[in-house]
């Protein structure tokens, strides 16, 4: 046993030994792998953990084949100003992106099928938090609950590996989604899921060419971005795009006689009105609201506005009931 393992390794190892369910064991093995320092002295241990993970995965696949499609159904409850769900084939760079954009401690590794369960992180954006959901890879034998996660998201963020054929990846994802009645383009059968296309690992491949290709095939229906976990400017752009595409506004409220404090905004869909904001805060507010006063940097400094007035990002409201 190598000497320099951190104490938390032994805590997780104990949990691993005590776990009965193979899926649970797999989660602990992944954690162990992410905890151990990566150097020559731990190579044997890393290999041993990977072998154990491989065996459990094989058992799970066999069990699934014999048991059918039953089993645990994973879902992620929405938190914050919006939920962004990542979609991508194995090893495309999903977890790496989640780990640099949020506080989540997800495992990133240079082999496919690293992520087995959803991972959740919150991305801080100015004064709000946006939920980012890491997902297991999409593949022919993907669990049905994965599509449930996609369906629940406010936005799907496709993570395509820029070092491989992006058109092929995009088509595989699009086909799998439509087979599960999730549509990313205008369609006669139902809602369209808002989608951002990120071509990942742009420090490694010719992603500019990849984006040109995607644009020439699919046009301007989607927002395309190049991204790299080692290029901060690309991460800033993706964060800004996520915020813009959520189509939300932040509204601050103040009590009569108090000063304006732009701290904890109420988050509403773009196009919301004064009465929508009132309802969001309290049902009674909606019933009893007479009017509101509005402050912003677009010329309002406490003027009276009516219930149907359409709000803008960073408006400050004072309700009069
Ligand atoms: N150079 C470079 N490597 C990256 C980048 N993003 C991810 N990688 C590498 O790509 C490999 C796969 O990354 P992951 O984030 O684990 O991929 P994933 O899509 O979560 O994989 P699964 O969980 O198997 O679906 C790892 O070795 C990462 O370090 C990037 O922007 N640049
Ligand atoms: Mg992953």
Question: Which CATH number belongs to the domain containing residue 287 in this structure?
Answer: 3.10.20.30
Q: Does residue 85 contact residue 155 with C-beta atoms inside 8 Å?
A: yes
pLDDT at 1: 52
30 and 55 co-located in one domain: yes
Distance CA 226, CA 155 (A): 17
CA 137 to centroid of ligand 2, rounded, Å: 7
SS3 (DSSP) at 317: strand
Q: Is residue 74 part of a domain?
A: no
Q: Is residue 298 part of a domain?
A: yes
The ligand 1 site (C-beta within 6 Å) comprises 88, 90-96, 108-110, 112-115, 137, 200-201, 203-204, 228-230
220 and 122 co-located in one domain: yes
Best mutation site among 50, 105, 106, 109 for ligand 1 pocket (most ligand atoms within 8 Å of CB): 109
* Position in ligand 1 atom list of the atom nearest CA 90: 25
143 and 270 co-located in one domain: no
284 and 230 co-located in one domain: no
- Of 228, 75, 240, 217, give the one whose Cα is nearest residue 159: 228
Distance CA 112, CA 100 (A): 19
CA 227 to centroid of ligand 1, rounded, Å: 12
Q: Does residue 172 contact residue 133 with C-beta atoms inside 8 Å?
A: no
pLDDT at 317: 97
154 and 37 co-located in one domain: no
175 and 301 co-located in one domain: no
Q: Is residue 75 part of a domain?
A: no
Distance CA 100, CA 228 (A): 10
Alpha-helical regions (H) of 68-219: 94-101, 144-152, 166-179, 207-218
Provide the domain limits for residue 295. 248-320
* Position in ligand 1 atom list of the atom nearest CA 134: 20
CA 16 to centroid of ligand 1, rounded, Å: 25
230 and 167 co-located in one domain: yes
258 and 237 co-located in one domain: no
Query: What percentage of the chain's residues is helix, strand, coil (to nearest 5)?
Result: 40, 20, 40
Distance CA 283, CA 19 (A): 46
56 and 139 co-located in one domain: no
CA 109 to centroid of ligand 2, rounded, Å: 8
* Position in ligand 1 atom list of the atom nearest CA 113: 24
Of 198, 227, 246, the residue at which a domain comes to its end is 246
Q: Is residue 76 part of a domain?
A: no
pLDDT at 3: 52
Of 229, 246, 263, the residue at which a domain comes to its end is 246
Of 246, 267, 302, the residue at which a domain comes to its end is 246
CA 90 to centroid of ligand 1, rounded, Å: 9
Q: Is residue 69 part of a domain?
A: no
255 and 119 co-located in one domain: no
pLDDT at 67: 54
Distance CA 147, CA 69 (A): 13
CATH of the domain at 230: 3.40.50.300
* Position in ligand 1 atom list of the atom nearest CA 202: 31
Residues in CB range of 59: below 8 A, 6 or more apart: 22
pLDDT at 70: 58
pLDDT at 238: 98
Each of the 321 residues of the chain gets a pLDDT tens digit; together they read 555 888 888 988 998 898 777 777 887 887 788 788 888 899 999 999 999 988 888 777 766 665 555 567 888 888 899 999 999 999 999 999 999 999 888 889 999 999 999 999 999 999 999 999 999 999 998 999 999 999 999 999 999 999 999 999 999 999 999 999 899 998 776 689 999 999 999 999 788 899 999 999 998 889 999 999 999 999 999 999 999 999 999 999 999 989 988 888 999 999 999 999 999 988 888 888 999 999 999 999 999 999 999 999 999 999 998
**Please, what is the end-to-end C-alpha distance for the chain in angstroms?**
70
Distance CA 98, CA 83 (A): 13
| Total number of domains in the chain | 3
171 and 26 co-located in one domain: no
Q: At what angle do helices 7-18 and 22-35 cross, to 10 degrees?
A: 170
Which residue's alpha carbon is nearest to atom 10 within ligand 1?
93
Q: Is residue 137 part of a domain?
A: yes
213 and 89 co-located in one domain: yes
Which residue's alpha carbon is nearest to atom 21 within ligand 1?
91
Q: Is residue 1 part of a domain?
A: no
Distance CA 34, CA 220 (A): 39
Q: Is residue 257 part of a domain?
A: yes
Pairing of strands 119-125, 83-87: unpaired
* Position in ligand 1 atom list of the atom nearest CA 204: 1
């Amino acid at each position: 046993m190598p000497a320099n393992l951190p104490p938390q390794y032994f805590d997780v190892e104990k949990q691993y030994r005590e776990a009965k369910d193979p899926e649970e064991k797999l989660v602990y093995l992944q954690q162990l792998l992410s905890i151990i320092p990566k150097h020559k002295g731990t190579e044997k241990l890393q290999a041993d953990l990977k072998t154990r993970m491989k065996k459990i995965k094989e058992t799970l696949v066999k069990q699934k084949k014999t048991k059918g499609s039953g089993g645990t159904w994973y879902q992620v409850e929405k938190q914050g100003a919006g939920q962004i769900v990542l979609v991508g084939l194995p090893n495309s760079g999903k977890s790496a992106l989640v780990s640099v954009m949020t506080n989540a401690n997800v495992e990133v590794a240079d082999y496919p099928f690293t992520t087995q369960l959803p991972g959740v992180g919150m991305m801080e954006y100015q004064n709000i938090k946006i939920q980012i959901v890491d997902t297991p890879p999409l593949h022919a034998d993907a669990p049905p609950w994965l599509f449930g996660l996609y369906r629940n998201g406010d936005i799907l963020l496709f993570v395509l590996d820029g070092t491989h054929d992006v058109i092929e990846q995009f088509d595989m994802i699009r086909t799998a989604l439509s087979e599960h009645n999730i549509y990313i383009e205008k369609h006669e059968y139902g809602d369209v899921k808002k989608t951002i296309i990120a071509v990942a690992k742009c420090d490694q491949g010719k992603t500019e060419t990849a984006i040109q290709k995607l644009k020439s095939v699919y046009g301007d229906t989607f927002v395309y971005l190049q991204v790299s976990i080692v290029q901060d400017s690309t991460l800033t752009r993706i964060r800004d795009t996520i915020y813009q595409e959520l189509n939300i506004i932040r509204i601050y409220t103040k009590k009569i006689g108090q000063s304006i404090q732009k701290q904890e905004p109420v988050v509403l869909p773009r196009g919301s009105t004064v009465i929508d904001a009132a309802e969001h805060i309290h049902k009674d507010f909606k019933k009893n609201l007479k009017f509101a006063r509005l402050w912003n940097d677009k010329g309002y400094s406490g003027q009276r506005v009516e219930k149907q007035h359409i709000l803008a990002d960073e408006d400050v409201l004072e309700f009069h009931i």
